[in-house]
């Protein structure tokens, strides 16, 4: 597989991570450098490791993973999105405009988002195994591109939060975005019909 093809694949795989990063940047309104780093490194690492894991799983569990991967991603995104919504509603009731109570770049939220946005990369690793393609180089490129796109997404979210003066509504928008991504995953897998 050519470098160009792998780069395009990496960009496509990074779109969920980008959307979550924009929502996170918007929610945080003024992300710190450590938050950029944590989100970018975690998303990049998971986008790197999932194809490798998929490669090693090979065809043995392919059918099972394809049957459930979208439900796993939906559940993880819905969990974090729901937590952000609850936090936003509580803050809006109190008329708070400070930083959100749910930091998408820390702790369990970070790992859940990283896993949820990289599950499709597991399927890519499975397909690489089926095609008998090498995995380490493409996986590294996928991880690096995803990390860069994630940082750009957080920056864009920060700019949108300031530009639109979303204030206390930013976290609400972030939670709704995550729930929208979760719903879209189910739509793409034809769960709704």
Which domain does 182 fall in, by range?
Answer: 3-188
How far, CA to CA in Å, does 161 sit from each of 85, 102, 147, 151, 175? 16, 16, 21, 15, 14
Is a pLDDT exceeding 70 seen at residue 31?
yes
Establish if 42 belongs to a structural domain: yes
The pLDDT mean for the chain works out to 82
Give the dihedral sign, CA 183/187/189/191: positive
Q: Does 193 map to a domain?
A: no
Residue 33 within a domain: yes
Q: Answer yes or no: is pLDDT of 98 > 70.
A: no
- Phi (first) and psi of residue 29, to 5 degrees: 65, -40
Q: Report the domain count for the chain.
A: 1
Q: Does any domain span residue 167?
A: yes
Look at residue 129 and tell me if it is in a domain.
yes
Please state the pTM of the whole predicted model. Answer: 0.72
Given a cut of 80, whether residue 6 has pLDDT beyond it is yes
Domain-located, residue 138: yes
């Amino acid at each position: 597989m050519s470098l160009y093809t792998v780069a395009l694949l990496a960009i496509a795989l990074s779109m969920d991570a980008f959307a979550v990063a924009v929502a996170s940047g918007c929610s945080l309104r003024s992300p710190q450098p450590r938050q950029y780093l944590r989100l970018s490194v975690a998303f990049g690492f998971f986008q790197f490791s999932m194809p490798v894991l998929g490669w090693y799983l090979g065809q043995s569990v392919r059918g099972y993973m394809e049957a459930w991967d979208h439900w796993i991603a939906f559940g993880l995104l819905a969990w974090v999105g729901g937590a952000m919504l609850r936090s936003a509603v509580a803050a809006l009731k109190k008329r708070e405009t400070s930083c959100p109570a749910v930091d998408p770049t820390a702790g369990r939220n970070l790992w859940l988002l990283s896993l949820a946005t990289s599950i499709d990369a597991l399927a890519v690793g499975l397909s690489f195994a089926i095609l008998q393609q090498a995995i380490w180089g493409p996986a590294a490129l996928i991880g690096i591109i995803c990390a860069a796109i994630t940082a750009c997404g957080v920056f864009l979210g920060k700019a949108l939060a300031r530009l639109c003066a979303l204030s206390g509504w930013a976290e609400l928008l972030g939670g709704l975005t995550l729930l929208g991504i979760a719903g879209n995953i189910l739509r793409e897998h034809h769960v709704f019909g």
